[in-house]
Chain A
Amino acid sequence: MVMASVTTLASHLTSTFTYAPEFCRLSQSSHSSQRPCTRKSVSGTISASIDLKPPPYALDALEPHMSKETLEYHWGKHHRGYVNNLNKQIEGTELDKMSLESIILASHNKGDILPAFNNAAQVWNHEFFWESMKPGGGGKPSGELLELINRDFGSFEALIQEFKLAATTQFGSGWAWLVYDIEDKKLVVLKSSNAINPLVLGSYPLLTLDVWEHAYYLDFKNLRPDYISTFLDKLVSWDAVSSRLEAAKASIEGK
């Protein structure tokens, strides 16, 4: 009886949250079958492990600009690896019941970084990255996003130049970002190394490009600049950026 009600609640949550960027996810790992159900039902909450969210398109949908092979390794091995390793790290700890974003902030620990940070941040970064692209992407933004770009960078071309520069000059592994700065209420281009993301830098992420070598090596070898240009010309989803900007402003106004 107890197990049945847990399962019902479980499937309800799964269907509701499949594509929502929500935090409470159900475990799809093999660990869930080992967890005693009584513990879950007594606490009243589902002990949520982090799941591997697929990109919002098929793995070959970004071809020829980003190959299926790249997606198979990048999502199927790298991103999956971060998810599995994170779940192993947080199982049975207080991080286990937290949302991904909370895990990131807690393990970042104001810069005194704890072990789960790298995996947690990389899970988040990769989800955000898949959602920053779409088949038939590229082009130009419009509406309020374009207005703010013109206001804060002078022109769309200037933003592109600055973003390209950040992505090219991120030495070693890391990410290039377009963010909405919460304090100054303006758009800013940032770059970060390894797993660091704007959540721990106090700004609202709008767009990211993965510049770890694994993101582009199979398709572009050493030619990171070509990868960056292809991302901006053919893959970037300005729609996603616009929605995120709306959400950013709404959440700031709401405070």
Chain B
Amino acid sequence: MALRTLATRKTLGALSTFPQQLRGLQTFTLPDLAYDYGALEPAISGDIMQLHHQKHHQTYITNYNKALEQLDDAIAKGDASTAVKLQSAIKFNGGGHVNHSIFWKNLAPTKEGGGDPPHGSLGWAIDQSYGSVEKLIAKMNAEGAAVQGSGWVWLAVDKELKRLVVETTANQDPLVTKGPSLVPLIGIDVWEHAYYLQYKNVRPDYLKNIWKVINWKYASEIYEKECP
């Protein structure tokens, strides 16, 4: 095992396209979407998808990587106060990367199942906890609309209690900040950049329409993994 790791490191070291491995620090790159920017129309415009992915998410990644490098440096030097000072940038930008990576998987074009309601155990659990998918959606939309400023609304499963939970987070706080055993199933970005060009100030319209492209299949997979 150790020999194999050594061999890998050497090989990678020879390829100078992996500078991050040379430093021993894992940095991040923008994940691709599984669909074209325009594929979620008319629920979410192609313009928004492109800006959201190529600019906003990319910026979180760029700044997260920068903060990680600075943190790595501070830790190596034993500079505790710098390490602590970097935490808000890490939480914000790292959270932004984590949250958006989930978000892209939460969405799918209608012709690939986006908007198709959940079946199987997740559908059953929703009916048990909320009465129906429609009632769950209404609850999530109400909570999403009520988020003051920027944030996210989530459907989650508590992996300890095996229970569905609706939660909101502020800014780019990841869901775990609301509970360490919460696993995100669906996250909806309610930052203004997620909808403003298309829906302007009318966040409730965005929330009503996004359900047409929500990828319940992905949510079900995650749920079934946590609650087999």
Contacts and interface: CB of A to CB of B under 8 A. Distances in A.
Interface of A: 73, 77-78, 81, 118, 171-174, 193-195, 212-214, 217-218, 221-222
Contacts, number: 52
8 contacts: A73-B200, A73-B201, A172-B172, A193-B149, A212-B149, A213-B193, A214-B192, A222-B193
Contact of B192 (A77, A81, A193, A217): A217
Contacts of A212: 149, 192
Interface string B194-218: 0011001100000000000000000
Contact of B171 (A73, A77, A172, A221): A172
Nearest to B58: A222
Given A73-B201, A171-B88, A213-B196, 11 more contacts: A78-B201, A172-B151, A172-B191, A173-B192, A194-B148, A195-B148, A213-B192, A214-B192, A217-B192, A218-B196, A221-B51
A47 B27 CA distance: 59
Contacts of B193: 213, 217, 222
Nearest to B91: A171
Nearest to B201: A77
B59 A222 contact: yes
A171 B149 contact: no
Contacts of B170: 172
B196 A214 contact: yes
A192 to B, nearest CB: 11
Given A221-B51, A221-B55, A77 B200 contact: yes
Which has the most chain B C-beta neighbours within 10 Å: A171, A173, A195?
A171
Contacts of B148: 118, 194-195
Contacts of A213: 150, 191-193, 196
A78 B92 CA distance: 26
A116 B76 CA distance: 48
B66 interface: no
A143 to B, nearest CB: 36
Interface size class of B (residues with CB under 8 A): 20 to 34
Contacts of A78: 201
B194 to A, nearest CB: 9
A173 B149 contact: yes
Contacts of B196: 213-214, 217-218
Which has the most chain B C-beta neighbours within 10 Å: A73, A78, A172, A218?
A172
B56 A81 contact: no
Nearest to A173: B149
A195 B170 CA distance: 14
B172 to A, nearest CB: 7
A171 B171 CA distance: 7
Nearest to A77: B201
B88 to A, nearest CB: 7
Contact of B149 (A77, A194, A221, A222): A194
Interface string B138-171: 0000000000111100000000000000000011
Contacts of B88: 171
A132 to B, nearest CB: 20
A194 B192 CA distance: 13
Contact of A172 (B149, B197, B201): B149
A221 B148 CA distance: 21
Nearest to A195: B148
Contacts of B201: 73, 77-78, 81, 214
Contacts of B59: 222
